[in-house]
Structure 1
Amino acid sequence: MGPDAVPEVYVAAGSNVAPEENLARAVAELSREFPGARFSPWYRNRAVGFEGDDFINLVTGFSTALPVRRVLERLHAIETACGRGRAAPRWAPRTMDLDVLLYGDLVCHEPGLELPRPDLLKRAYMLGPLAALAPEMVHPVAGLTIGELWRRFDRAAHPLEPLTSRCCDPHPPREPGP
């Protein structure tokens, strides 16, 4: 990415507390905050790291000239608008969880910010929706396309269920990649 290039940002969104309502609100807020945002289909998966209700997840992609820390601030504001408290334990139910997966080709290891997101390659609920949205995007560390990474992913061990009737998704869900 050159010095004048506007980065393409990919963000995972997930909820397991009134998930359809909270994701619909997050999609509206993300669309308002980041005009031109695109959204993957919605997917259901089991909670990871704790016993809890299933999550519904999606990935959004958008271009922005905002620095990554400003993007994080805006995402935290959207989480708050969806009822998320910052004091909740890490592995707990969420009204909304927004995580930056990729910020262009930025590789960053700072307190509170690690890009690309390390668990992107370990979590079906992040990688699958990203593959549906941006299969040709190249992972800046792995050097492979997101579609290829998804094809190599152990989907049997990490089931991801495409959902078919999303209120705010203009595109029918599809299985991410062959």
Structure 2
Amino acid sequence: MAQVFIGIGSSINKRINVRLGLTSLRAEFGDLKISPLYESEAVGFSGVNFYNLVVELHSDLDVHALIVKLKAIERKHGREENALKFAPRTLDLDLLLYDQQIDAEIDLPRAEITRNAFVLKPLAELAPLLIHPALGKTYQKLWQDYPKDKQKLWRVEDLL
């Protein structure tokens, strides 16, 4: 079973869609380990704020089948198949890590981990001592070194 980390985001009916995304992931993969939930400003475009969190799960699916399954869950919850990257969305499920696999073709580990506070902060809280497979640093250390004034991020209490 592969150890998998998935970033979840939503900016359209975000409270409902984050819950629906978690429900669908539980139905497909069983138990989830869930980070705290954060709200952040849109990155790459002007838009409403997003909710973001990270989940850990275990899967027997290979990486390609897992990506297909995540895209199917997104579509089930209203995400259009060819949706723009920098646009509001109902549900975004991004494969961040698949074991310690490094694969530039499918963006593993996902580059957004070190670029975006809304990915790195919840990942660092969920798996602080896990080591980034390419950088050789823990996610806790990567968060400590992250420029905190780069992106605004607020923890959302008691939503999930």
TM-score by length of 1: 0.87
Partner amino acid for 1:164? Answer: E
In structure 2, C-alpha distance between the alignment counterparts of 1:29 and 1:39, rounded to whole Å = 14
Q: Deviations over 1:112-147 (max 9, x none)?
A: x11000121010011011011111110000101111
- Cα RMSD after superposing both structures: 0.9
Where in structure 2 are there 5+ consecutive unaligned residues? Answer: none
Question: Do residues 18 (structure 1) and 6 (structure 2) align?
Answer: no
- Pick the aligned partner of 2:140 from 134, 147, 163: 147
**Correspondence list, 1:101-140, <5 A:** 101-110=96-105, 113-140=106-133
- Pick the aligned partner of 2:95 from 100, 123, 129: 100
What residue in structure 2 maps to residue 171 of structure 1? none
In structure 1, C-alpha distance between the alignment counterparts of 2:131 and 2:2, rounded to whole Å = 13
Percent identity (aligned): 36
Runs of at least 4 residues of structure 1 off by over 2 A? none
What residue in structure 2 maps to residue 172 of structure 1? none
Structure 1 residue matching 2:5: 3-state secondary structure: strand
Q: Structure 1 or 2: larger helix share? A: 2
Q: Kindly state the Cα deviation for residue 101 of structure 1 after the two structures are TM-superposed.
A: 0.7
Where in structure 1 are there 5+ consecutive unaligned residues? Answer: 1-5, 169-178
Q: Kindly state the Cα deviation for residue 60 of structure 1 after the two structures are TM-superposed.
A: 0.5
In structure 2, C-alpha distance between the alignment counterparts of 1:123 and 1:58, rounded to whole Å = 12
Structure 1 residue matching 2:46: 3-state secondary structure: coil
Q: Kindly state the Cα deviation for residue 156 of structure 1 after the two structures are TM-superposed.
A: 1.8
In structure 2, C-alpha distance between the alignment counterparts of 1:63 and 1:141, rounded to whole Å = 21
Partner amino acid for 1:29? Answer: S
What residue in structure 2 maps to residue 33 of structure 1? 28
Q: Kindly state the Cα deviation for residue 88 of structure 1 after the two structures are TM-superposed.
A: 2.1
Partner amino acid for 2:24? Answer: E
What residue in structure 2 maps to residue 7 of structure 1? 2
In structure 2, C-alpha distance between the alignment counterparts of 1:36 and 1:26, rounded to whole Å = 13
Q: Kindly state the Cα deviation for residue 65 of structure 1 after the two structures are TM-superposed.
A: 2.0
- Pick the aligned partner of 1:84 from 58, 70, 79: 79
In structure 1, C-alpha distance between the alignment counterparts of 2:19 and 2:27, rounded to whole Å = 12
In structure 2, C-alpha distance between the alignment counterparts of 1:100 and 1:94, rounded to whole Å = 16
What residue in structure 2 maps to residue 70 of structure 1? 65
Partner amino acid for 2:11? Answer: N
